Chains A and B, each alone.
Chain A
Amino acid sequence: MIFKYEIEGGNFTKAGNASSNVKKTLKQLNVNPSIIKRIVVALYEAEVNVVAHAYKGEITADITPERICICIEDDGPGIPDIDLAMQEGYSTASQKVREMGFGAGMGLPNIKKNVDQLNISSQVGKGTIVELTTFF
Chain B
Amino acid sequence: MKVCDLVKKLNLTVISGHEGLENEISGGYTSDLLSDVMGNIQDGNIWITLQTHKNIMAIASLKEIAAVIIVKGFKPNTDTIEQSNDEGIPILSTAMEAFEISGKIYELIKY
Q: How far is the CB of A18 from chain B (nearest CB, A)?
A: 11
Asked whether A44 is an interface residue with its Cβ less than 8 Å from the other chain, the reply is yes
Interface centre among B33, B39, B63 (most CB of A within 10 A): B39
Q: How far is the CB of B79 from chain A (nearest CB, A)?
A: 6
Q: Are A16 and B55 in contact (CB under 8 A)?
A: yes
Inter-chain contacts of A107 with B (CB < 8 A) = 35
- If over half of B's interface residues share one DSSP class (helix, strand or loop), that class is named, otherwise mixed; here it is helix
From B35, B39, B43, give the contact of A102 (CB < 8 A). B35
Asked whether A41 is an interface residue with its Cβ less than 8 Å from the other chain, the reply is yes
**Range of interface residues on A (Cβ < 8 Å):** 20 to 34
Count of A-B contacts judged by CB separation below 8 Å = 61
Q: Are B35 and A45 in contact (CB under 8 A)?
A: yes
Q: How far is the CB of B29 from chain A (nearest CB, A)?
A: 13
- Interfacial residues of chain A within 105-126, with CB under 8 A of chain B in the complex: 106-107, 110, 113-114
Inter-chain contacts of B59 with A (CB < 8 A) = 16, 44
Closest residue to A91 on the B side, CB-wise? B35
- Interfacial residues of chain B within 52-100, with CB under 8 A of chain A in the complex: 53-55, 58-59, 61-63, 79
Q: Are B58 and A106 in contact (CB under 8 A)?
A: no
From B51, B58, B61, give the contact of A15 (CB < 8 A). B58
Give Cα A107–Cα B59 distance, bound, in whole angstroms.
Answer: 14
Q: Are A13 and B38 in contact (CB under 8 A)?
A: no
Asked whether A12 is an interface residue with its Cβ less than 8 Å from the other chain, the reply is yes
Inter-chain contacts of A44 with B (CB < 8 A) = 38, 58-59, 62
15 contacts between A and B (CB under 8 A): A12-B53, A13-B54, A15-B58, A37-B43, A41-B38, A41-B63, A48-B34, A100-B34, A100-B51, A100-B53, A101-B49, A102-B55, A104-B35, A106-B36, A113-B39
Q: Given A37-B43, A107-B35, A110-B35, 12 other A-B contacts at CB below 8 A?
A: A15-B55, A16-B61, A45-B38, A48-B34, A48-B35, A100-B55, A101-B33, A101-B51, A104-B35, A106-B35, A106-B36, A110-B38
